[in-house]
């Protein structure tokens, strides 16, 4: 009994010592990891989270449980992770809305710089397609701008909500082309695509997802430009916005990344980053992500930190120029 008592005391001392986090990292993960996604199942964010986590789980020998917490453009999911235990078993799959929300809302229940430990950028967006309804009498960007500038023009563009990336891309288009398309926000990208198909709006900026590509093939939508720095490899016939005559218009779109609660042990962050970077080299992971319009990354933690700060500066500048005010 004395030996058992002494072993218990030694274990208690060890768990309270600086060595404990190192031992926890050595045995990590010892149970399934919860990956919280701030949108409903079936969307692009959910697809990326599931594709990446499936491979990382196989490498680490432990399941990832996807927990979809839709609502408030990801704020609900983000707050859950901010308040979770910093043990590596609760992670956030976030997109650029992680930064946009902090610029759009005054009183968030968390601080993106204080309450989170960035892990890695899983994928980077390569650009958005500018889509128009087939009834619009414009085959390219120049014709669309000319149509929009005609007296009495009522052309509009849709988005997945005020302040999100689709909205910001449309506002950048307004600024660079020197015109004023009416913005019509919807509750997500999918409803906005459906609205464009129905003719409720005339244009839309969206990622080149398989669903969108199918609509292009059937002729229900038409692509007139791509916002990336170069043409998208899977639609090489679609010119960039710059090629279409809109100078200084490059908008790569959203990154998607993983974040942990602040104070998560650095060894655990490093392990997750390394496993994600490795996963992004697997063809079975890369192919569906590239087909969805994203560039597999697995960036370093330092690169992710720099990307968040840079994104905040550029987005704040664009929001000011577009007159988008904080709520």
- Pick the most confident of 45-49, 200-204, 252-256, 291-295: 200-204
Q: Where are the alpha helices (DSSP H) in the chain?
A: 2-15, 19-27, 44-60, 75-82, 97-104, 141-148, 165-177, 189-198, 210-217, 266-279, 283-291, 301-322
Residue 255 has pLDDT above 90, yes or no: yes
Which domains does the chain carry? 32-124+254-322 (3.40.190.150), 129-226 (3.40.190.10)
pLDDT at 54: 98
pLDDT band, very low/low/confident/very high, at 188 (cuts 50, 70, 90): confident
Alpha carbons 71 and 85: distance in angstroms, whole number: 22
pLDDT in tens, 97-123: 999 999 999 999 999 999 999 999 999
Residue environment code for 204-230, b if the CB has 16+ CB neighbours within 10 A, otherwise e: bbbbbbebbbebbeeeebbbbbbbbee
Per DSSP, what are the bridge partners of residue 295? 124
Please identify which residue in the block is written with the tokens 């292009």: 216
Angle between helices 266-279 and 44-60 (to 10 degrees): 110
Alpha carbons 2 and 10: distance in angstroms, whole number: 12
Q: Cβ(212)–Cβ(206) under 8 Å? A: yes
> Taking all residues of the chain, what is their mean pLDDT, rounded to a whole number?
91
Alpha carbons 293 and 290: distance in angstroms, whole number: 5
- Per-residue tokens: 186: 């919807």
Percent above pLDDT 70 for the chain: 92
Residue 250 has pLDDT above 60, yes or no: yes
pLDDT in tens, 140-154: 999 999 999 999 999
Alpha carbons 184 and 216: distance in angstroms, whole number: 22
Residue 232 has pLDDT above 90, yes or no: yes
Q: What is the dihedral angle through the alpha carbons of 314, 319, 321, 327, rounded to the nearest 10 degrees?
A: -150
pLDDT at 22: 52
Residue 274 has pLDDT above 80, yes or no: yes
- Per-residue tokens: 91: 């992670």
Alpha carbons 290 and 208: distance in angstroms, whole number: 10
Tell me the C-alpha to C-alpha distance, in Å, between residue 160 and each of 69, 122, 163: 17, 22, 9
């Amino acid at each position: 009994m004395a030996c058992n008592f002494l072993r218990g005391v030694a274990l208690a001392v060890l768990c309270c010592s600086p060595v404990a986090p190192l031992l926890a990292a050595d045995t990590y993960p010892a149970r399934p990891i919860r990956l919280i996604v701030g949108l409903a199942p079936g969307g692009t964010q959910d697809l990326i989270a599931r594709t990446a986590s499936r491979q990382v789980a196989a490498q680490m020998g432990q399941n990832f449980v996807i927990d979809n917490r839709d609502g408030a453009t990801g704020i609900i999911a983000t707050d859950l992770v901010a308040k979770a235990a910093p043990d590596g078993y609760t992670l956030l799959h976030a997109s650029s809305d992680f930064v946009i929300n902090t610029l759009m809302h005054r009183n968030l229940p968390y601080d993106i710089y204080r309450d989170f430990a960035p892990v890695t950028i899983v994928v980077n967006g390569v650009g958005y397609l500018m889509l128009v309804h087939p009834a619009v009498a414009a085959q390219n960007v120049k014709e669309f701008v000319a149509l929009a500038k005609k007296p009495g023009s009522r052309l509009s563009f849709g988005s997945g909500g005020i302040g999100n990336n689709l909205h910001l891309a449309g506002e950048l288009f307004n600024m660079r082309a020197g015109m004023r398309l009416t913005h019509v926000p919807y509750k997500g990208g999918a409803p906005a695509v459906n609205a464009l198909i129905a003719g409720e709006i005339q244009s839309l900026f969206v990622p080149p997802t398989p669903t969108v590509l199918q609509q292009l093939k059937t002729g229900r939508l038409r692509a007139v430009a791509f916002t990336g720095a170069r043409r998208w490899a899977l639609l090489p016939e679609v010119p960039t916005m710059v090629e279409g005559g809109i100078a200084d218009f490059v908008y790569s779109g959203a990154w998607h990344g993983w974040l942990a609660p602040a104070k998560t042990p650095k060894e655990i962050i490093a392990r997750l980053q390394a496993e994600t970077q490795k996963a992004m080299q697997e063809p079975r992971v890369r192919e569906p992500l590239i087909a969805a319009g994203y560039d597999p990354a697995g960036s370093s933690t330092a690169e992710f930190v720099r990307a968040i700060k840079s994104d905040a500066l550029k987005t704040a500048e664009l929001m000011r120029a577009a007159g988008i005010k904080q709520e």
